Amino acid sequence: MKSLIIKPNSPYNVKSHFENYTSKEPSKEPQPCLYESGVWWQALRLENKKLMPVEVALNENINNPMLKVEVFKNTTESEDTEIINQIKHIFNTEYDLKPLYEFMDKDPILKKIKDNNYGLLPAGCYPSIYEAVISVIVQQQISLKIAFHMISLIIQKLGDCIQVGDKTFWAFPVPSKLANASISDLRTCKISERKAEYIRDFSKVVSNRTFDPESLKNLPYEKIIEKLMQFRGLGRWTSEMVIVTSIGLDNVNPAGDLGARKAISHFYNNDKLMSENEVRTLTNRWGKYKGIITYYCIAEALH
């Protein structure tokens, strides 16, 4: 076992995120990550295809944050670097909240939301765009609780796992596994036939290398949307949620998301549900921060 330390930018508080956006059935419903009482664990898949069982403990100090990473396998220096980079991405450790807070302080509503959620950062980003696409397809038009259950069934049926003592570390299925799965296999995971088709079709183009989702990471936002929407089952909402959960969310606001619409409507329209276009128009005033401010509004509305 090897211990690695990561020092995120402060202020930093991801506990609230995990408590809101992970399964409430710890150790039972891998996403593929699992989280319980300040500890996160997952099997990370490295570029050399090795699976690394990794556990991350979050400390309590928002102004002096630290992530203690335990790796339960022997690793090389280059593998350690890759593990650290994946954790930094998943846990959003490099984000600097200070400029955002200066902006939010200018609006009394946003200042209160910021003060109530000081240090909050979205974490739990998917390690790959591929994983985000498959997971967000499952999430279409259903509650997160139901989606978490379905995703866990897919992972337990077709993913990989490593056992370390009494703890199981799960990894998301590789594209070829989902590409070769039958529709009936996927249907046993309680997803609809249409979603099963979307998942298998997208996995096929990734598996046969016709399309590399990871190549989207450095493209402009609208270009990513355009490329993702070429695939059956990937509309604008799905594409925006993929960006939010795998690339970043500063300048991306999934205004078609019902949770986002409800949260914005609560604070800026007396709970009268605003349309997608109305939410886009209102949040555009927040410029490059519209995505993360929307996230803060959702978090505050969940309190």
Would residue 141 be called left, alpha or beta, if left means φ above 0 and alpha means ψ between -120 and 50 degrees? left
**Region 114-135 average pLDDT:** 92
DSSP letter string, 151-209: HHHHHHHHSEEEEETTEEEEEPPPHHHHHSS-HHHHHTTT--HHHHHHHHHHHHHHHTT
Please report, rounded to a whole number, the percentage of residues in the chain having pLDDT higher than 70: 97
End-to-end CA distance of the chain: 38
**Region 110-117 average pLDDT:** 96
What are φ and ψ of residue 39, in 5° steps? -125, 130
Encoded tokens for 253? 């606001």
Q: Are 186 and 154 in contact (CB under 8 A)?
A: yes
**Does position 26 have pLDDT exceeding 60, yes or no?**
no
Q: Which CATH superfamily is domain 129-246 in?
A: Hypothetical protein; domain 2 (1.10.340.30)
By mean pLDDT, which of 21-30, 76-85, 192-201, 278-287 is the weakest?
21-30
Its sign, for the CA torsion 89, 91, 92, 96, is negative
pTM score, two decimals? 0.92
**Region 225-244 average pLDDT:** 94
Q: Which CATH code for domain 2-95?
A: 3.30.310.20
CA 114 to chain centre: 21
Strand residues in the chain grouped as ranges (E): 2-6, 34-36, 39-45, 51-58, 67-71, 160-164, 167-171
**Region 266-277 average pLDDT:** 96
Q: What is the tens place of the pLDDT at every residue in 163-214?
A: 999 999 999 999 999 999 999 999 999 999 999 999 999 999 999 999 999 9
Give the CA distances from residue 215 to residues 69, 141, 200, in Å, rounded to whole numbers and listed in that order.
Answer: 28, 27, 20
Band (23; pLDDT cuts 50, 70, 90): low
Domain limits, the chain = 2-95, 129-246, 258-302
Q: State the Cα–Cα distance between residues 205 and 231, nearest whole angstrom.
A: 10
Q: Are 58 and 121 in contact (CB under 8 A)?
A: no
Encoded tokens for 21? 């956006």
Regarding predicted confidence, which is higher, 60 or 272? Answer: 272
Q: What is the tens place of the pLDDT at every residue in 1-14?
A: 899 999 999 999 99
Q: Is 134 helix (H, G, I), strand (E, B) or coil?
A: helix
Q: State the Cα–Cα distance between residues 279 and 291, nearest whole angstrom.
A: 12
Regarding predicted confidence, which is higher, 218 or 170? Answer: 170
Q: What is the tens place of the pLDDT at every residue in 240-254?
A: 999 988 987 667 888
User: What residues contact residue 65 under an 8 Å CB cut-off, 6+ apart?
Assistant: 7, 8, 10, 11, 12, 13, 58, 59
Please report, rounded to a whole number, the percentage of residues in the chain having pLDDT higher than 90: 83
Band (18; pLDDT cuts 50, 70, 90): confident
Regarding predicted confidence, which is higher, 51 or 15? Answer: 51
